[in-house]
Amino acid sequence: MTQALKIIPLSGLGEIGKNMTVLEFGRDMLIVDCGVKFPDNDMYGIDLVLPQFDYVVQNREHLRGIVLTHGHLDHIGGLSYLLRQVSTTVYGTALTIGMVKRQLQEAGVQGTRLQILQDHERFTLGAFKINPFPVAHSIPGSVGLVIDTPVGAVVHTGDYKLDETPTGGRTTDLKRLRALTPKGVLALLGDSTNADKPGHTPTEQLVADELDRLFTEARHGRIIIATFGSLLARLREVMALALKHGRKVALTGRSLEQNVELARELGYIKVPDSLIVPADANVPDDRMLILSTGSQGEPRSALNRMATGQHRQVQVKHGDTIIVSGGTIPGNEGDVSRMLDRLFERGANVIYGRLANVHVSGHGSRDELLAMLKATKPKFLIPVHGEVRHLHLHARLAEAHGMRPDQIFILENGAVLATDGKRAWREQPVPANDVLVDGRLIGEVGEPEVRDRQRLSQDGFIVAMIPVNASNLLAGEPELISRGFIPAGRATDLLGAARNEIKRQFGNGVNVRQEAVQTALQDFFFRETQSRPVVLSSLLHVGSAAAQQAAAQPRSKGADADAGAHKGRSNAGRQNAGRSNAGHSNAGHSNAERSNAERSNAERSNAGRQNAGRAGQGQSNAGRSNASRANDAQPGQNRSGRDGAQPERSGAKRNNQQPKRNNQQPRSNDQQPRSNQQPRSNNQQPRSNNQQPRSNQQPRKNEDKSARAEGARPQPTQQPQKPRRGNNNRRPKNTSSS
């Protein structure tokens, strides 16, 4: 049975950007391009969008190489991410490889083999024989590819147009393309970007002539031209005009500076060194030309910083001529419009696409797509590189000129098209989702997080912290924090009403559930404001004593009442005898009147921890009084200088006694503590908090020390002091209003 060729577009279909196609035959895999896409305006915080590399990584032992068509980021920008996971050779023309090399160096990716290929060089990668052919595009060194496979030839056009008078003289070589496919073309993967534009794409020479005219008119002031940093063909033409009109050239924008430097090193841009000067050079205005990035209104671009007055070297002024020489990418219209308005406000003469022919596309229009179809006469057509409408319009163009519908495949990212050379069919798709990059987070931020960010950008958020007891019943005053929702002046009353709503719904023995709290608050805020802030709820589990004291605190409106409620809860928790530090709860008993059963448990627990050589943060010797532990061993006062290290044995040190050795056996529960006071039996009911101690005699001082050292607790002579606050026991701030 004949093996089938698989064509798998991992990305680049139904979108503009992150182009990546996999060809697979048997145990051989080839990748064409590996780009990125810039995020949409509603992808808050996202830096880049990558293809999903899982299929390639899982089959990396079959990967024979990556071949690049040109050096734009939507074709090479993903390499630094992929090459961290696979090892292979990357092929491209000199400029393309130069740009990849710089990108990998900046990303810290080392060890990748980079191979420069010539326009007419033929090379083999496994089952694939690759023949590049020159194409005209907006960046030098662009090629299309003829890929011979055992079942037929596949043509990948890359980005192209049929420009007969391009800047630099590089045309799309259809003659060579025909010569490379004498047996016909099995499948054409054709650029569809301008499938909705009739006729031919204007020649780059038209832009050069228009810029020449504008240079002549702007003879008395500076000229500032903004374009894409990678549009090297345009940059080369602008520098030639600067020489013609006697102007110096200043570069501003990191990507533009790097690309011009690389193009000069490789000989694509040939200008004298004296032509290029710093942006703040002392050059007369009528002799200065500034090349800048920012034709898309990017917030951090050089031109946008000029528009907002934040550029450190260039301030826009009356008499400046600003030419925006770059087509607006769909989705960027709003950013570009705001930037243009600001430039006009600063007194500049701003010229952009609707006013003059200062930009032409690097992609072919419908007549050029038809010419490619006629030159290749493919058995199967796969429209690529375009949004959904572009793919369909390309398909309809082919149908209108003789191709049958069953010969045309409009695919989606991850689709698998298999062919044996005679027929073609779809197979099970592979994973091909967007992978979002947010700083160092690669793929960790997904659609749910993006949706949350979109919601946060619309109505703000509310954080609700609900104290509950062990039975999940309301055990205190709810706390609400608001950000980006309502003005601070109205927050106090509205959040106070929201607290009352929580207490009304959950204050009568109703079990508190996190989802129910969120739903109740969402409904409440929508009733009151007709807005839907994001509501985040958290249940804070507290002991019963702390909850009772916190719930007993009266609460009035305003920050003072919030602070008082915080103080009541915090003190109640601290009087609870280091509940969190010792690992057991003393809820419901005062520090002076713990039952013997609780003391015995504390003795066993603390002695066991000493034997194990571990002291939790803030723990002291077994049997120390709760008030002493709270005062002397608060969290954050560990003097060892290391989290989790052994803290001071404060009870033993105050009595000048050595701490117990780690191999000492813990005292059993029925062992009598060395104290002048006999303990109550374990089954004795504890006294309530308002009962007086049984003993009318105050213990002697030495007995008090002995009791503290050995684990028995003396009868208190006064109320225990409030514990000192450590770093982890600060009183919470009042956060009830935004």
Q: Directed axis angle between helix 488-506 and helix 514-529, to 10°?
A: 130
In the prediction, which pLDDT does 123 show? 95
Across the chain, which has 738 residues, the per-10-residue mean pLDDT values are 88 94 97 92 84 96 97 95 96 95 92 91 95 94 96 97 81 94 96 95 92 93 92 91 96 91 91 93 94 89 93 93 88 88 95 90 96 96 96 97 95 96 96 90 83 80 88 86 79 87 83 86 88 86 58 43 40 40 39 40 42 39 38 38 37 40 42 42 42 43 41 41 41 38
Pairwise CA distance, residues 715 & 694, whole Å: 9
In terms of phi and psi (left: phi > 0; alpha: psi -120 to 50; beta: otherwise), the region of 601 is alpha
Pairwise CA distance, residues 293 & 324, whole Å: 10
In the prediction, which pLDDT does 689 show? 42
Go through the domains of the chain in sequence order and give each one's CATH number.
5-199+362-438 (3.60.15.10), 204-351 (3.40.50.10710), 460-546 (3.10.20.580)
Pairwise CA distance, residues 339 & 222, whole Å: 19
Task: Decide: 577 and 630 in contact? Cβ < 8 Å.
Answer: yes
- What does the buried/exposed string (b/e) look like for 396-414 if buried means 16 or more CB atoms within 10 Å of the residue's CB? ebbeeeebeeebbbbbebb
In the prediction, which pLDDT does 470 show? 86
In the prediction, which pLDDT does 46 show? 84
Distances (CA, A) of 732 to 131, 477, 551, 729: 69, 13, 17, 9
In the prediction, which pLDDT does 184 show? 95
CA nearest neighbour of 23 among 12, 10, 14: 10
Task: Decide: 302 and 294 in contact? Cβ < 8 Å.
Answer: yes
- Is 191 annotated in the active site? yes
Q: Which of 74, 191, 335, 704 is catalytic?
A: 191
Eight-class DSSP state of 159: S
Q: Which of 137, 311, 363, 385 is catalytic?
A: 363
Task: Decide: 471 and 544 in contact? Cβ < 8 Å.
Answer: no
- Is 363 annotated in the active site? yes
DSSP code per residue over 312-331: SS----TT-EEEE-SPPPTT
In the prediction, which pLDDT does 450 show? 83
DSSP code per residue over 166-234: -TTS----HHHHHHH-TT-EEEEEEE-TTTTS-S-PPPHHHHHHHHHHHHHH-TTS-EEEE--TT-HHH
In the prediction, which pLDDT does 168 show? 67
* DSSP reduced 3-state for 522: helix
Question: Environment class of residue 68 by beta-carbon count within 10 Å: exposed (0-12), middle (13-18) or buried (19+)?
Answer: buried
